[in-house]
Structure 1
Amino acid sequence: MQTIQLEHLFKQQHHQTILKDLTLTIQAQSKIGIQMSHVEATTLFKLLLQMLPQTSGVITGITPDHIQAILHNDGLYPQLTIMSYLKSFCRLSDFATNLDDLLQFFALKDVARVKIKHLSADQQQRLALLRAFILHPDLLLIESPLTNLTNAGIELYLSALAYTRTHSITVLLTSYSLEELVLTSKTIYRYHSNTGLELTDLATENEADNSDPTPSTPRPIFKVATKVDDKTVFFSPNEIDFIESVNGVSQLNVSGEQFISPQTMNELEQQLTTLGFFRCHRSYLVNLQQIAELISYSRNSYTLILKSHSKIPLSRSKLVNLKALINF
């Protein structure tokens, strides 16, 4: 795939600015995720497919015939069976691989003769992915693929997505959920309507990297300081649900609100470890008392669900330490 470059992309529609100052490089085999709304994602996809002209900015390297998109509300043909539906796309693309073998990799073999209207949401998402696989684009754009899926459905979709990527298909995903992007992408951006794309600290960690020094014995503290305008606001550790590093800035999450701390994640980890906090991911410190569930989507993907219903990633390398701390 040729490298695609978006430079200072700007799109206005119906007197509203949808995208502003969006700059992005999409290289072959990159695993990019972007946190953005449905309207923003749809507009971006249409620009890449050249279904819409940009208001300003430059897009280079685009070959629309080699790009496919799967939107969250994509329609299928409900009266067709999976097999008859897929065969029509095989004819369009001169696809030669045996469909029976392929259905196995997308966990759809047992429902191959079932009408699409009778499929679950989990199965329909995998069917949309398989349809795109058959068309074999250089670049596949997917919006919110894991939204509303069951835990088993997420695990099966992630497996099918990994299989898709092994066949030289570059996948760019968008979602409003950061958790979804952590599970599906390696390089994660947030889109801000005023400033464009912002690279996050949520890239997949190198699990083999043991270079981080062991933190020294933490000293007790009773309050964590944050800055709000010209004020300093203090929180007791038990009030904090979790702490997230956002582009190198520590952000306390307290009852659904975010507060900026002047301290680094390493400093906060040293101070809060003895007060019930755990570094579950390079970018997250979690209050152990707030953990309600642990979900495993695959051998390499773990998510913590908190009492507040927030979802945060757990690194595979941290799982053993967490088990020792909370005895499970």
Structure 2
Amino acid sequence: MVDNVKLFIYADKEVELKHHLATIVTENELQYSIINLNHNYAHFKTYTLDEPLPERMKVKEIIKFWCKWYSSSLASETIIHKCNLAIFSQKRIKKLSNSELKLLHIAKLVIVPESKFIIKEPLQNVTIETKYTIINLLNELSTSNTIISLTNHTEEALLISEYCYRFNKNSFKPIALSNDNSEKYASSIAENQTHLSRQPIRRLTVKTNEKTMFLDPIDIDYLESQDGKVVIHVGDEQYIHDTTLQNIETLITPYGFYRCHRSYIINLQKITEIISWSKNSYSIRINTSKDTLIPLSRQKAKDIEQFFNIYE
């Protein structure tokens, strides 16, 4: 078994990962930053899973070539069977679908004599069947290798590994998940909003992929009311919370949030600009990967200016 690994997240900063199959949820730009920082790091091999392959070769031919090139102890037929490539093993690479091509790239990881991998978006744009083939392969590989998967989607991260981290420009920290008992406890808490309103919280519980995620309020950009429920915006992802904006306002206001509109609660730390369209029409720009504008009234704009000691 390989030892715990240290990973560069900045040129002058490392983090230690104690698990042999871990996922990091971060935006595309930071994914490439991690790849570039660690590309030449000792014993790390990085894969974006979109490197060009010889288009005229058949799948069976390139698997056989890789087995020979890397002196694999596994026969090419074994690789084809293990990685579920048989059904398209006679297809030329240029005719492969996105799912087939990504699975072929993953199959290469089974062959190469490396012990530490960083891979980018292994489950993106693949079929459900391919997705679970890849998940099984990564879990099997992690018994003798360290695999760090980079993705922009928390749900995909949770499918790959229970050891997930969220990385942005300000922090690198684990994504808290509950076990079965904790899920029942979280459900019980959700049913007692009155009691909760008197308790300080450090997480918001959100159900996703049959698991309960605990969102740190600091990661939340803003919350929006839609169809009687609350949509929580975290980066490029959205989570549905089965409550009202009024109920959640009581819980989250102590953590630097403000009800700027009847349909919106914003994280004051994420505000980058207040825009004045007219005497009584304003918008807030939020610091996200998208150009997000949130409406607010003149009075709400004055309140926010007071929060930041801005005076006319």
Please, what TM-score do these two structures have when normalized by structure 1? 0.56
SS in 2 for 1:140: strand
SS in 2 for 1:77: coil
The answer to whether the 8 Å contact 1:173/1:185 transfers is no
Superposition CA RMSD, Å = 3.8
| Deviation at residue 188 of structure 1 after TM alignment | 1.4
Report the equivalent of 1:82: 59
Report the equivalent of 1:3: 4
- Within 1, Cα distance between the matches of 2:34 and 2:157? 17
Q: Does 1:162 align with 2:139?
A: yes
| Deviation at residue 184 of structure 1 after TM alignment | 0.8
Task: Letter of the 2:10 partner, please give it.
Answer: F
Report the equivalent of 1:45: 35
- Within 2, Cα distance between the matches of 1:150 and 1:76? 21
Residues 198-229 of structure 1: per-residue CA shift (max 9 Å, x gap): 22214xx54587994983894687xx99xxxx
Please, what TM-score do these two structures have when normalized by structure 2? 0.59
Unaligned segments of structure 2, at least 5 residues: 199-205, 234-244, 253-312
Identity across matched positions, percent: 15
- Within 2, Cα distance between the matches of 1:217 and 1:22? 38
- Within 2, Cα distance between the matches of 1:248 and 1:125? 35
Q: Does 1:153 align with 2:144?
A: no
The answer to whether the 8 Å contact 1:32/1:173 transfers is yes
Report the equivalent of 2:46: 69
The answer to whether the 8 Å contact 2:119/2:148 transfers is yes
User: Which structure is higher in helix share?
Assistant: 2
The answer to whether the 8 Å contact 2:63/2:79 transfers is no
Report the equivalent of 1:198: 173
SS in 1 for 2:45: strand
Report the equivalent of 2:89: 112
| Deviation at residue 152 of structure 1 after TM alignment | 2.2
- Within 1, Cα distance between the matches of 2:99 and 2:159? 16
- Within 1, Cα distance between the matches of 2:133 and 2:93? 18
Greater shift in the superposed pair: 243-252 or 130-139: 243-252
- Matched positions, count: 222
The answer to whether the 8 Å contact 1:244/1:250 transfers is no
Counterpart pick for 1:245 among 186, 202, 214: 214
Alignment of 1:124-143 (within 5 A): 124-143=101-120
| Deviation at residue 128 of structure 1 after TM alignment | 0.4
| Deviation at residue 169 of structure 1 after TM alignment | 1.7
Q: Where do 4+ consecutive residues of structure 1 move more than 6 Å?
A: 208-211, 240-243, 248-251
| Cα gap change, 1:108 to 1:249, in 2 (>3 Å) | same
The answer to whether the 8 Å contact 2:47/2:120 transfers is yes
| Cα gap change, 1:253 to 1:133, in 2 (>3 Å) | farther
Report the equivalent of 1:189: 165
Residues 232-265 of structure 1: per-residue CA shift (max 9 Å, x gap): xxxxxxxx9999631377966644554875649x
| Cα gap change, 1:219 to 1:5, in 2 (>3 Å) | closer
| Cα gap change, 1:86 to 1:245, in 2 (>3 Å) | same
Report the equivalent of 1:31: 21
The answer to whether the 8 Å contact 2:7/2:38 transfers is no
Which one has the largest radius of gyration?
2
- Within 2, Cα distance between the matches of 1:81 and 1:42? 30
| Cα gap change, 1:105 to 1:218, in 2 (>3 Å) | same
- Within 1, Cα distance between the matches of 2:31 and 2:191? 44
